[in-house]
Amino acid sequence: MAAALHRETWHPEAIVGRLVVLRRHRPDNLSAFARWYADPEVARLTRYQQTPLTNEELQRFFYSRIMGSDSFTMAIHIRETDRLIGTCAFSQLDGDNGSALYHITIGEHSGWGHGYGTEATQLMLSHAFRQLALHRVALTVFEFNERAIRSYRKCGFEVEGRARDAIFRDGRFWDEIHMSVLAEEWELRQRQEPTT
Ligand SMILES: CC(C)(COP(=O)(O)OP(=O)(O)OC[C@H]1O[C@@H](n2cnc3c(N)ncnc32)[C@H](O)[C@@H]1OP(=O)(O)O)[C@@H](O)C(=O)NCCC(=O)NCCS
């Protein structure tokens, strides 16, 4: 019972926002992942390699990283319809240093540009700082992914560095941008303009 309560705090069944609901992934979400990760535009924005994942790679990724008990991953659903549109996660959760890496992919093109991803990130940061007591959340993003960078800035992430010319895409090199947000900065912003 105590373990179940603890899990519910650490990794709840659902986190409810205004536009989206984050839910724990279910095994039958695999077919949506297969569709998203076969999409060249999703690969362009999220992966170093543009070749699609093989079926074996996809299954390994899904069952170890998405469904695995060590990972903190949530499915993103549109609140109004409950339609599954994407996934977001913390990896490299480091209790000693209070840090994690953040990842998000809205896999459905029709879900881009409506604020769903931005709200999902805000909900994840609120969970990270208030429930998981993390101190720092970091991420990396390709320089050409302007929508993602704008979204992250709106959530409080700041650029802390760049890996110069780390990615070759569309015929030229681009930087990989490193961003992070710290608990106290995020709490200060929440007091000024609450998002969750
Ligand atoms: C990146 C992502 C999470 C952003 O979430 P989102 O809900 O689509 O973002 P929003 O609708 O809140 O838009 C964020 C900002 O980008 C702007 N924007 C929207 N489309 C844009 C485009 N094509 N180019 C540049 N900016 C764009 C929006 O106007 C908004 O800025 P504003 O509020 O200042 O006007 C989501 O689009 C996504 O998952 N995309 C595909 C995968 C991906 O890129 N993942 C991130 C990898 S690091």
Q: Which CATH number is 84's domain given?
A: 3.40.630.30
Centre of ligand 1 from the C-alpha of residue 65, in Å: 24
Centre of ligand 1 from the C-alpha of residue 114, in Å: 8
Tens of pLDDT, residues 164-176: 999 999 999 999 9
pLDDT classification of 5: cutoffs 50, 70, 90:
low
Centre of ligand 1 from the C-alpha of residue 30, in Å: 24
Residue 82 in this model has a pLDDT that exceeds 60 = yes
pLDDT classification of 1: cutoffs 50, 70, 90:
low
Query: Cα–Cα distance between 39 and 112 in angstroms, integer?
Result: 14
Q: Of all residues in the chain, what percent carry a pLDDT higher than 70?
A: 97
Looking at ligand 1, which residue's alpha carbon is closest to its atom 34?
Answer: 150
Looking at ligand 1, which residue's alpha carbon is closest to its atom 31?
Answer: 150
pLDDT value of residue 53 = 84
Q: Which has the higher per-residue pLDDT, 43 or 3?
A: 43
In the chain, how many domains are there? 1
Q: Which amino acid is at 124?
A: M
Residue 196 in this model has a pLDDT that exceeds 80 = no
Segments forming the whole domain that contains residue 32: 2-192
